């Protein structure tokens, strides 16, 4: 009986010992796993959203998007007839003169510039539990942007539009005559009583009479011919008195121009600059976009206006990055949840065409970031190596 009790006690102790050893092994294994999980260094990169919590030391960067600035150079031409235009053929022999007031516009050139800005839909958050070593993130004045094209810089050219010209400022001309009226003398009489009789005493009366348009045109034409004759005499060496410098010839040229404009009219050319900014969207690519409407009579007008022709811009991507979509935004396969891939964007080549009717005003090829694909880059990748 005593032997049987000792045997049972020995078996119980052996079972308890095994259970203790098994529990110790389980605890050691769990501790190693926990220690390994907490000591494994890594970086977590996630897209910024409402559910992402920004902690102290978190790094936020954004991907670039391309913004276009379209600069349209136009020319406004204002024509004003001269006061003596109907006498130009008879008095000075000029036939190609301005007969009525007019205004015309023309497009001289179109330039398309581009720069990069942060895409508000492409922000990413980096959380690092270890030393984060990379030069892929370049801190620029636009923000923290992952840009693999180091030559892409922000440039902005300052441009000023031409001064507004009012056609009413130039309707007056110097009529070009030193006399605008003529004096007519006439004899009048007044009665004066002398003693018991009246006598008539004559006196001189002068009246000023304004010259007619025909007389003013004739005097202006005569003065124009005198200026031309005098200049020819000076240039050919036949004049009795020669000017000391070129200022006299310049003044004669100015006077000749003013007298000639009395017959042919004046033409004012005003350069104008109009700027449009466009952020093309990948979803509306290949669709025409109306910049403005243009009329040769009134110039640029709004898109909603009915007069004029539409100036249309088209952005046609060549889809050179479409085969890279299979690599885009892959989910992490690691069970630890650590995702150490930096997101970056490869721009696509886009054909830009600006047309008005059947006329092509501008055509070029540009890199557009938002038309490309977003891929991943190792977090510790060092550019330039």
With bands split at pLDDT 50, 70 and 90, how would you rate the model's confidence at 319?
confident
How confident is the prediction for the chain on average, in pLDDT? 76
On whether the CB atoms of residues 213 and 176 are closer than 8 A, the answer is no
Element (H, E) at 302: none
Q: In degrees, to the nearest 5, what angle opens at C-alpha 279 toward C-alphas 276 and 281? A: 140
pLDDT for the residue numbered 5: 42
| Two tokens, residue 170 | 């130039």
DSSP state letter for 35: H
Q: Tell whether the model's pLDDT for residue 338 goes beyond 60.
A: no
Helix (H, G, I), strand (E, B) or coil at 213: helix
Least confident range from 64-78, 205-219, 285-299, 368-382: namely 368-382
For 249, half-sphere exposure in the C-beta direction (CA atoms, 13 angstrom radius) is: 11
Instruction: Tell me the pTM.
Output: 0.67
Q: Which residues pair with 127 in a beta bridge?
A: 44
Backbone phi, then psi, for 283, in 5-degree steps?
-70, -25
Cα–Cα dist 347/321, whole Å = 8
| Cβ-based neighbour number of residue 260 at 10 Å | 20
| Cβ-based neighbour number of residue 144 at 10 Å | 16
Q: Tell whether the model's pLDDT for residue 339 goes beyond 50.
A: yes
The stretch 289-299 carries a mean pLDDT of 90
Element (H, E) at 352: strand 341-356
pLDDT for the residue numbered 67: 92
Q: Which residue has the tokens 């190792």?
A: 378
Least confident range from 233-242, 252-261, 283-292: namely 233-242
**143-184 pLDDT, tens per residue?**
666 665 544 444 444 444 445 555 555 455 666 656 666 667
Backbone phi, then psi, for 156, in 5-degree steps?
-140, 125
Q: Tell whether the model's pLDDT for residue 24 goes beyond 70.
A: no
The stretch 18-39 carries a mean pLDDT of 55
Cα–Cα dist 233/248, whole Å = 13
Q: Tell whether the model's pLDDT for residue 333 goes beyond 80.
A: no
Rounded to an integer, what is the distance from CA 330 to the centroid of its chain?
38
pLDDT for the residue numbered 11: 47
Q: Tell whether the model's pLDDT for residue 41 goes beyond 80.
A: no
For the chain, the first-to-last Cα distance in angstroms comes to 83
224 exposure class (CB count in 10 Å sphere: 0-12, 13-18, 19+): buried
pLDDT for the residue numbered 201: 76
On whether the CB atoms of residues 374 and 329 are closer than 8 A, the answer is yes
**198-235 pLDDT, tens per residue?**
777 777 777 777 888 888 888 888 888 888 888 888 88
| Percent share of the chain, pLDDT over 90 | 15
**261-286 pLDDT, tens per residue?**
889 988 889 999 999 999 988 877 77
pLDDT for the residue numbered 315: 92
């Amino acid at each position: 009986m005593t032997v049987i009790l000792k045997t049972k006690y020995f078996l119980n102790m052996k079972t308890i010992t095994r259970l203790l050893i098994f529990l110790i092994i389980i605890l050691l294994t769990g501790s190693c796993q926990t220690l390994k999980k907490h000591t494994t260094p890594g970086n977590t990169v996630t897209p910024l959203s409402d559910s992402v919590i920004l902690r102290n030391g978190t790094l936020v960067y954004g991907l670039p998007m391309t913004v276009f600035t379209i600069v349209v150079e136009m020319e406004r031409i204002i024509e004003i007839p001269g006061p003596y235009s109907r006498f130009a053929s008879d008095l000075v022999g000029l036939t190609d003169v301005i007969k009525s007031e007019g205004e015309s516009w023309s497009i001289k050139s179109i330039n398309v510039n581009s720069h990069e800005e942060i895409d508000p839909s492409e922000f990413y958050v980096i959380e690092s539990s270890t030393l984060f070593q990379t030069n892929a993130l370049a801190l620029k004045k636009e923000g923290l942007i992952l840009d693999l094209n180091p030559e892409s810089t922000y440039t902005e050219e300052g441009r000023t539009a031409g001064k507004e010209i009012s056609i009413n400022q130039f309707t007056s001309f110097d009529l070009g005559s030193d006399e605008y009226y003529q004096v007519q003398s006439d004899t009048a009489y007044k009665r004066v009583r002398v003693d018991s009789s009246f006598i008539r005493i004559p006196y001189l009366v002068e009246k000023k009479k304004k010259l007619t348009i025909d007389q003013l045109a004739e005097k202006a034409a005569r003065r124009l011919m005198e200026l031309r004759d005098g200049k020819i005499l000076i240039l050919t060496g036949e004049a009795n008195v020669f000017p000391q410098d070129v200022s006299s010839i310049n003044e004669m040229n100015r006077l000749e121009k003013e007298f000639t404009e009395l017959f042919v009219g004046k033409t004012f050319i005003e350069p104008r600059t109009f700027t449009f900014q466009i952020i093309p969207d990948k979803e509306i690519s290949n669709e025409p976009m109306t910049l403005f409407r243009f009329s040769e009579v009134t110039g640029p007008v709004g898109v909603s206006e009915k007069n004029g022709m539409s100036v249309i811009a088209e952005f046609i991507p060549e889809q050179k990055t479409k085969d890279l979509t299979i690599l885009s935004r892959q989910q992490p396969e690691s069970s630890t949840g650590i995702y150490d891939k930096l997101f970056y964007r490869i721009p696509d080549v886009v054909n830009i065409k600006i047309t008005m009717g059947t006329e092509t005003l501008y055509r070029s090829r540009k890199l557009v970031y938002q038309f490309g694909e977003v891929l991943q880059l190792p977090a510790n990748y060092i550019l330039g190596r």
